């Protein structure tokens, strides 16, 4: 059975198609941003509020800008803005469903602060409140799992950030990245299948740095939600000051089987490049495997999204190998029920 057939056997809702639609999402995200026809925003920084699949777009956009960021940009995952947030920072609330209580709370907190607000959602409480308050709503298409809408999350956040003046627009890079992903799709699928087979039965521990730091976290979350499998992520060089020691307890007879996945990029500091090399050597004896992945693409945006798509496909390939449907996240729904939905 091919990797695609194995995924399709467990994927009645078409999560594979959703991942493969990333290039289209990126183009549509820019179009949806333009269609919202936002009035100019006068601000000195940007706070992106969201949770889970709706927060990662903020981290990824910030990473794509890298050193091109000229004003502060941060992602807030929680019920409140930082007490240090000044009212001249715009607050962008991103919730795919529009009903995520933490994001709705931040929307209210931003009003209390007097900060300019922008929202992106398919509907829910967030859209209702924003429309009532005259706050712009960038409409997203319904019918996806929030995490599968990452192209929208990334593209819309990058455009909102440029609109707020925290960096110049990267829409030409986004366009080129969409074409790059399309050209790489078969190769990415094959690579994802191989990687999933190599790590199957072990716990993936992903490491990134700079551009690839939020990608590592994305991989972790996609293994959790799509593959229904534990996974962890950390960042270089910090992991060389703690996690590297923990690998001594990994392996049979210890904490169990772990696989290291290093997401490496040409923009990394030369010492970071060296650290990945040496760390791979040092932990290899206790790891099921150390998989060193060099991002592919021209611009930062191309390489970032290439790595995101590889992780998304690998998580689906692992779901296929495990025989689990990647779509449902029943425990999240059950938790939200127990908390009492707003
Ligand atoms: O992937 C998921 O389904 C979750 O991580 C959601 O994104 C998270 O619960 C937040 O929901 P929403 O994206 O609707 O705000």
Return the HEC string of the chain. CCHHHHHHCCCCCCHHHHHHCHHHHHHHHHHHHHHHCCCCCCCCEEEEECCHHHCHHHHHHHHHHHHHCCCCEEEECCCCCCCCCCCCEEEEEEECCCCCHHHHHHHHHHHHHCCCEEEEECCHHHHHHHHHHCCCEEECCCCCCHHHHHHHHHHHHHHHHHHCCCCCCCHHHHHHHHHHHHHHHHHHHHHHHHHHHHHCCCEEEEEECHHHHHHHHHHHHHHHHCCCCCCEEEECCHHHHCHHHHHHHCECCCCECEEEEEEECCCCCHHHHHHHHHHHHHHHHHCCEEEEEECCCCCHHHHHHHHHHHHHHHHHHHHHHHCCCCCCCHHHHHHHHHHCCC
pLDDT band for position 144 (cuts 50, 70, 90): very high
> Rounded mean pLDDT of 161-165?
98
In this predicted structure, the answer to whether residue 301 has a pLDDT above a threshold of 80 is yes
Res. 342 pLDDT band, cuts 50 70 90:
low
Task: Read off the pLDDT of each residue in 220-249 and give the average, rounded to a whole number.
Answer: 98
Query: Catalytic annotation on 241?
Result: yes
329 CA: nearest ligand 1 atom: 3
pLDDT at 121 over 80: yes
- CA–centroid distance, 23 to ligand 1, in Å, is 21
Rounded mean pLDDT, 294-311: 98
Pocket, ligand 1, Cβ cutoff 6 A? 51-54, 95-97, 100, 103, 145-147, 225, 329, 332
- pTM beyond 0.95: yes
Reported as a single tens digit per residue, the pLDDT across 27-72 is 999 999 999 999 999 999 999 999 999 999 999 999 999 999 999 9
């Amino acid at each position: 059975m091919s990797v695609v057939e194995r995924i399709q056997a467990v994927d009645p809702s078409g999560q594979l198609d959703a991942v493969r639609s990333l290039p289209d999402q990126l183009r549509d995200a820019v179009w949806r941003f333009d269609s919202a026809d936002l009035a100019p925003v006068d601000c000195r920084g940007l706070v992106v509020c969201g949770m889970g699949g709706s927060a990662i777009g903020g981290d990824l956009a910030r990473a794509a800008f890298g050193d091109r960021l000229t004003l502060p940009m941060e992602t807030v995952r929680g019920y409140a803005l930082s007490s240090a947030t000044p009212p001249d920072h715009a607050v962008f609330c991103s919730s795919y469903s529009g009903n995520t209580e933490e994001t709705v709370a931040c929307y209210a907190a931003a009003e209390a602060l007097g900060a300019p607000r922008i929202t992106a959602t398919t509907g829910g409480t967030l859209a209702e409140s924003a429309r009532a308050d005259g706050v712009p709503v960038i409409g997203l298409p319904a019918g996806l799992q929030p995490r599968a809408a990452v192209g929208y999350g990334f593209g819309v956040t990058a455009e909102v950030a440029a609109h707020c003046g925290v960096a110049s627009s990267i829409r030409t890079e986004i366009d080129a990245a969409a074409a790059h992903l399309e050209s790489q799709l078969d190769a990415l699928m094959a690579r994802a299948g191989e990687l999933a087979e190599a790590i199957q039965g072990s716990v993936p521990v992903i490491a990134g740095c700079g551009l690839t730091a939020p990608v590592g976290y994305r991989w972790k979350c996609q293994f959790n939600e799509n593959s229904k499998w534990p996974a962890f992520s950390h960042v270089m060089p910090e992991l060389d000051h703690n996690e590297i020691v923990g690998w001594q307890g990994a392996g049979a007879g210890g904490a169990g089987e772990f696989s290291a996945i290093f997401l490496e990029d040409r923009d990394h500091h030369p010492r970071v490049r060296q650290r990945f090399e040496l760390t791979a050597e040092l932990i290899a004896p206790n790891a099921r495997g150390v998989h060193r992945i060099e991002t592919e693409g021209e611009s930062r945006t191309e390489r970032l999204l290439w790595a995101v798509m590889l992780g998304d496909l690998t998580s689906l390939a692992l779901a296929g190998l495990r025989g689990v449907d990647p779509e449902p996240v029943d425990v999240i729904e059950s938790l939200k029920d127990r908390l009492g939905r707003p």
